[in-house]
Amino acid sequence: MNREISIGLLGLGTVGSGVAKIIENHRESMQHKLGAKVSISKVLVKNLDKQRDTDLDPSVFTTSMEEILDDPSIQIIVEVMGGIEEAHDAIERALKAGKQVVTANKDVMAMYGQPLLKLADEKQCDLFYEASVAGGIPIIRTLEDGLASDRISALMGIVNGTTNYILTKMDQEGMTYDEALAKATELGYAEADPSADVDGLDAARKITILSSLAYSSAARLEDVFVRGMKEIRNGDMEIASRLGYTIKMLGTSKADEEGIEMSVEPVFMKQSHPLAGVHNEYNAVYIHGDAVGETMLYGPGAGSLPTATSVVSDIIEACRSLLLGVSGKRPHDLQYDYRVKSPELRYSQYFHRLLVEDEVGVLTKLTAIYSGSGASLRSVIQEPAEQAGKAELILLTHSISRKQHLDIMEQLEQHAEVLSHYRIEGEDTL
């Protein structure tokens, strides 16, 4: 077969450069697998005069979006420029023009994924987005194809490399949060403004995407319970380790007949759980299916080439669809109505760390708060505090609802200083 497939690349930043490098270096391998030549015919850049480390011919560079989207010879649009509204507009216009689209944009897919997938179906073209979650881990394709015969009931994962790197340094090297963040920034794992990472929004977007796909339901970003990692207190890591846990910034999603629950927050993770061993910038997603049971995917969650690998994998899939004449034949209709599980129905065990007056009767008052809220304690540990006349109490609960937890927190604050609190995961896997 002597055929050439042309690509329009929107963006030549970290990921875009990686995509161009892989296509150039693997050109013969891709042609062998597809029976067709794949080439980048146009690249959208902001500045034509900028010096770039690429083998691309400078004649392919353009600052005009229209020059790419309106070119009938370009069959695949690859969006790796980032941002939300401009990227969304470009993807939408490309789909309306009947072009195949590949994107690495988690923000767009979390906010506009379902309407865009519906548009792709209507225009009989494909929208691929493997690189929008967990970098080089093929989690989207695993859920769509590898586990298509199963029904997923839960998933949880470390899906942000920046926060996992920070927590690894705090745990293994005793760094403070500020020291670990500075190191992550120095190495390029954290942006100059790391708020989307450390406040949990980046992971929340990814959990939204995975939940929609796993449960065939239109999950919404605003329904993810999000708590950032800035509330991790000095001493929490050491206490967690002593009790047999580590602290991980975890995205969790579960579904049953009562609805879907999604959260992103720092949790106490049992050290024996596979996710506890995921360190530095690596990501992992742990999945529970009715038939397969429990399985985990692990790999690099960010970086130019790992993420670009997922993008190029989607490009190859888009090429195959074109060559086989099956573009737009994969339906994206949702099977289930979307329902959010109320806080009364979200159950977990919890860790509470309190600073109290070291005097008779305090513990009785506090335990009465738990029993009055219908919660039972599985462990109470008293530790000396640095302040004279004070004591630290560590309380571990049996399974209680998130509403019970929040009600207890509100009452505890009237009698003690709540130093920190965490949901506990990994006691019984998912």
pLDDT at 2 (0 to 100): 52
| Stretch(es) of the chain classified as CATH 3.30.70.260 | 343-425
Q: Are 214 and 152 in contact (CB under 8 A)?
A: yes
Q: In whole angstroms, what is the distance from residue 23 CA to residue 230 CA?
A: 40
In this structure, what token pair is assigned to residue 137? 């881990």
204-to-102, 288, 311, 401, 409 alpha-carbon distances in Å: 21, 19, 21, 21, 24
Angle between helical axes of 304-324 and 27-34 (0-180°, round to 10): 30
In this structure, what token pair is assigned to residue 358? 């070291």
- Inform me whether the pLDDT recorded for 430 exceeds 70: no
CATH code of the domain made up of 4-135+304-324: 3.40.50.720
* Burial of 233 per CB tally in 10 Å (0-12, 13-18, 19+): exposed
Confidence of residue 317 (pLDDT cuts 50, 70, 90): very high
| Stretch(es) of the chain classified as CATH 3.40.50.720 | 4-135+304-324
- Domain 343-425 in CATH 3.40.50.300? The answer is no
End-to-end C-alpha distance for the chain, whole angstroms = 49
pLDDT, tens only, 146-172: 999 999 999 999 999 999 999 999 999
pLDDT at 263 (0 to 100): 97
pLDDT at 428 (0 to 100): 64
Q: Diameter of the chain by CA atoms?
A: 86
pLDDT at 114 (0 to 100): 95
Mapped to the 3 state alphabet, what secondary structure does 390-413 carry? EEEEEEEECCEEHHHHHHHHHHHC
- Inform me whether the pLDDT recorded for 1 exceeds 70: no
- Inform me whether the pLDDT recorded for 239 exceeds 90: yes
- Inform me whether the pLDDT recorded for 13 exceeds 70: yes
pLDDT, average across residues 310-333: 95
Confidence of residue 375 (pLDDT cuts 50, 70, 90): very high
| Stretch(es) of the chain classified as CATH 3.30.360.10 | 150-300
In this structure, what token pair is assigned to residue 253? 């999603």
* Residue at token pair 């129905």: 345
Confidence of residue 303 (pLDDT cuts 50, 70, 90): confident
Name which residue leads in pLDDT, 2 or 227.
227
Q: In whole angstroms, what is the distance from residue 43 CA to residue 20 CA?
A: 10
DSSP bridge pairs for 6 = 39
* 3.40.50.2300, 3.20.20.220, 3.40.50.10490, 3.30.360.10: CATH of 150-300: 3.30.360.10
Indicate which residues carry an active-site annotation: 206
The gap from C-alpha 264 to its chain's centroid, in whole angstroms, comes to 9
pLDDT at 55 (0 to 100): 86
Q: In whole angstroms, what is the distance from residue 128 CA to residue 119 CA?
A: 13
Round the average pLDDT of the chain to a whole number and report it: 94
pLDDT, average across residues 225-231: 95
Confidence of residue 301 (pLDDT cuts 50, 70, 90): confident
- Inform me whether the pLDDT recorded for 185 exceeds 60: yes
pLDDT, tens only, 67-103: 999 999 999 999 999 999 999 999 999 999 999 999 9
Q: In whole angstroms, what is the distance from residue 362 CA to residue 393 CA?
A: 10
pLDDT at 85 (0 to 100): 97
